[in-house]
Amino acid sequence: MNTIDESLSPVERALLGFAPEIRPPALPDGDLRYVVDETDVGRLLLAARPDGQLVTCVYVADDHEADGVVDRLARRISPRLLHGGPVLDGIRRQLAEYLAGRRRAFDVAVDLSLATPFQQEVLTALLAGVEYGRTASYGELARRIGRPAASRAVGSALNHNPVCLVVPCHRVVGATGALTGYAGGLAAKRRLLDLEAAGAIA
């Protein structure tokens, strides 16, 4: 017959034999995952939803710029933003293959939530009409969306493209073929166009 230690308090007696299962806390997954990668054309911040939709791929010169993009994502998309994660592995691999000349098209869903309605119109036309190894002028793209007088607005929309490289704004040039503004700098734009030109010939 078991005896109970009379020195125990009522609470201690009530807890005799109580052995709860201890589990680590279950923390909710974030609404967005992001990472900053160093690439051949500059430093890129990538962010994707849990289902793999790419929300942004933008150039960030330094940590201050990266923090600014993260703050914008938190305000515009969701404050539940976490660093890293396997959901980013696919797009990171595809970017590496593209920059190595081993990939011509990206197989990733793009979420244009950060783009304005006009930007979405421009970027959608760009994706549909300017293939790997080809270029178009701002005026041509303006005409494709039915706004022939909006070449300057098209340029502004592309200059703030939230999904660089994957939505290839580097393929849009001046009317004479001259390279004009690009978020990653003109050297990066030239590098990308030369890469695609070589791949298109191969």
3-class DSSP assignment, residue 129: helix
Distance of CA 117 to the CA centre of its chain: 18
> Is residue 169 annotated as part of the catalytic site, yes or no?
yes
Three-point CA angle 111, 86, 50, nearest 5°: 35
3-class DSSP assignment, residue 7: coil
Sequence-distant (6+) residues with CB within 8 A of 145 are 121, 122, 125, 154
Dist. CA 73–CA 22, nearest whole Å: 36
Active-site option among 169, 172, 188, 193: 169
Q: Let me know: does 94 contact 149? Beta carbons within 8 Å.
A: no
Query: Any idea which residues carry the catalytic annotation?
Result: 169
